[in-house]
A and B are shown apart, each in its own frame.
Chain A
Amino acid sequence: MSDKPVSNKTAPGPYQPVMHRYWWLQHRYFRLYMLREATVLPLLFFIGCLLYGLYCLGQSEAQWQGWLAFMAQPWVVLLNLLAFIASLFHAKTFFELFPRVMPLAPAGFMIAGQWLATLLVAAGLIVILGGWI
C-alpha cells in the first residue's frame, strides 16, 4: 500500500475545457453579437416581400392589389419595422467598424495633424505666456 493520495483519474494531466452549446449566453457581449447575427432574419423577410411585390407587379393588377393588402397586414408591418430597425442598427455598427478596418486617414495626414496640434498648442502657450510677461 502506498500512502499517496487516492487519485480518481487514470492518468494525471491538464484539464481540457469544453465549450458548451450555450456559450453565447455566457455574457452580454456574446448575446449582443448573436443579436447582431440574428438581425439578418427580418432583413431576409423584407427582401422576400420586395421580390414577391416585383413579381406581382409583373402579373396583373389584381395580384398587385393583393400584394398591397398583404403588406398592410399588421404582422407584416411589424416584421418590416423590425427589419428597418435592424438595418439602422447595422448602419450604426458599420460606421463604427469601417474606420478601424479601412484606416482612410493615411498615416501622413495623421502625422501632419499631430504637428498642427503641436503648433497650435505652442502658439497658444506663446500668446498666453507673452501676454503674461
Chain B
Amino acid sequence: MNKSISIARYHPEQDNQPRLQAYQVQSDHSTSVLDALLQVQQQDPSLGFRWSCRMAICGSCGVMVNGIPKLGCKTFLRDYPDELTVSALAHFAVEKDLIVDMQPFLQHLNAVKPYLINSEQSAEPHRQTPAQLAKYQQFANCINCGLCYSACPQFGLNPEFLGPAAITLAQRYNLDSRDQGKAARMPQLNGKNGVWSCTFVGFCSDVCPKKVDPAAAINQGKVASAGDFIISMFKS
C-alpha cells in the first residue's frame, strides 16, 4: 500500500525554520515509522535521523508523530490511516531534520549524580532482597529516550527544569538500599529547577515507552523534598 508521509526538514545552513516535505512510502501491517524513514532515506539520502536498535531499547529514534512524542521503531503506520507528519522532538534545538541536540537532557541526567554513592569499602557484594529491588525497579527501566522532555510543557518553558527522566533517575538511586547519596541529591531536587517546577501535567507518563511513570517519581520526589525541608527545620 502506498502511503504519503510529511517530514519536517531542516538544513542548518539554508533554512530559518523547519519546512514540511511530502514523501511516498510502501507500507504494510508491520511498517514502523522508522521503516518509513529508512525508505525515504533511500529516495533522498540527505534526510537525517537517529536510530540504532529497532526494538525500543536504545532510545535514539524519538520523533514527534502528529505532534506526540514517539519512538519511531515502536510506532506503526497502520495506526495512522489519515495524515502522518514526523518532526523533530519538541523542546530541543534541531541540528538537522529529525536530529536534535540532546546535550541539555544529558546534562540534567548528570546533575542528579546518577550512580551509587556509598562510602563503605568492602570486597563483599551488596546484597539486595527482592523487596528492596521492587522499590526502585520500575524507575530503573528508563532508556533515556527523552520523549518525556518533549511531552513536558514546563521543560519547554524553562529549559533549566531538571525534568522528568532526571528526577526519576534521582529517585531511582534515592530508593536503592545500596545507596547513601540521597543527601547529596536532595539540593538539586529541592532547588527552584527541581521537583517543585512540576505542575503534574502528567503527559510524560503517558508518552513514556517503558512505563516508567516519571510523573509518579517526581511527585514522590515532592513528598521526599517536603520531608527533607521539615527535617532541616528541626536540625537548625
Known: A8-B14, A33-B202. Is A15-B94 also a contact (CB below 8 A)? yes
Q: Which of B36-44, B129-137, B140-148, B228-236 contacts A (4 or more CB under 8 A)?
A: B129-137
Q: How many Å lie between the Cα of A24 and that of B203 in the bound state?
A: 12
Query: Do A23 and B134 touch (CB < 8 A)?
Result: no
B-facing mask of A15-34, CB < 8 A → 1, else 0?
11101000110110110010
B226 to chain A, nearest CB (A): 12
Query: Do A30 and B14 touch (CB < 8 A)?
Result: no
Query: Do B91 and A17 touch (CB < 8 A)?
Result: yes
B200 at interface (Cβ–Cβ under 8 A)?
yes
Query: Do B13 and A23 touch (CB < 8 A)?
Result: no
Q: Which of A45-53, A61-69, A81-89, A95-103 contacts B (4 or more CB under 8 A)?
A: A95-103
Chain B: residues with Cβ within 8 Å of the partner, total of: 38
Query: Do A107 and B131 touch (CB < 8 A)?
Result: yes
Closest partner residue, chain A, to B221 (CB atom):
A101
- Interface size bracket, A side: 20 to 34
Closest partner residue, chain B, to A29 (CB atom):
B203
Q: How many Å lie between the Cα of A7 and that of B12 in the bound state?
A: 10
Q: In the assembled complex, which residues on chain A have CB atoms less than 8 Å from the CB atom of B12?
A: 12-15
Q: Which of A8, A13, A15: most chain B Cβ within 10 A?
A: A15
Known: A15-B94, A102-B223, A107-B131. Is A7-B156 also a contact (CB below 8 A)? no
Q: How many Å lie between the Cα of A16 and that of B12 in the bound state?
A: 11
A108 at interface (Cβ–Cβ under 8 A)?
yes
Q: In the assembled complex, which residues on chain B have CB atoms less than 8 Å from the CB atom of A103?
A: 220
Query: Do B219 and A100 touch (CB < 8 A)?
Result: yes
A96 to chain B, nearest CB (A): 10
